Structure 1
């Protein structure tokens, strides 16, 4: 058996956009989500539907708000377009423009012939006491 999400009127509402409830779903008067269940019923022409994003449900969820409580829609800042420099336009890569870091070869380190571990800077093995001199 394959389980799929059902389709209903909430799918037609775009995310992070205020939509008049009367335009989305007709019906009887209802309440503002923020005002609560004890508030008076309002006609659907005075309420706004807002579809919120949800971290675990990709369909999100819809709430109705009155004019006083409708959410503020934050405008997302678009990233600035990438400007191509003359060096990139000429086809040179980043490595050609910057000097390469010098490669430091690995030094040959003194090893203790008895323990086969690296000897400290003093030249003495910390395990058995063997010295390099």
Structure 2
């Protein structure tokens, strides 16, 4: 038996971005998650859907919020390229370390396996010179 996740309107939402519920799916009036079950149901044009991350469910979960309790959308911070100065001039590229010199692989003449840098074969124990 193969178990697959179902697909619905919640899959198309981005995480932590408020979206009007009326733009997502039609339906009856609903309540704000923060206001609680004792509050008056609000029209879908007055509710915001926010998809939150969940530690055990990669699809996350969606909650409805009124305008007063709606979480703020995430701030997009500009990324700064460290190779550029504040005046927009290009700085010198960072120095790269020299690549390590690889030693040629040495094979044991009896076992035909590669011998480690110690020169001792791990299978038969013969000392093999480079």
The TM-score bracket by the shorter chain reads: 0.5 to 0.7
More displaced 10-residue stretch of structure 1: 57-66 or 74-83: 74-83
**Structure 1 vs Structure 2 CA RMSD:** 1.9
For 1:44, the equivalent position in structure 2 comes to 44
For 2:22, the equivalent position in structure 1 comes to 22
- The C-alpha deviation readout for 1:16-68, integer Å capped at 9, x for no partner, is 11110011010011100100000001100000000011122110110000010
Structure 1 residues 25 and 87, CA gap change in structure 2 (3 angstroms): closer
Larger Rg: 1
5+ residue gaps, structure 1? 96-133
5+ residue gaps, structure 2? 84-89, 99-130
Normalised by the length of structure 2, the TM-score is: 0.63
Structure holding more helix per residue: 1
Structure 2 distance, partners of 1:93, 1:31, is: 58
Structure 2 distance, partners of 1:27, 1:87, is: 57
Normalised by the length of structure 1, the TM-score is: 0.62
Structure 2 distance, partners of 1:75, 1:35, is: 25
How many aligned positions are there? 92
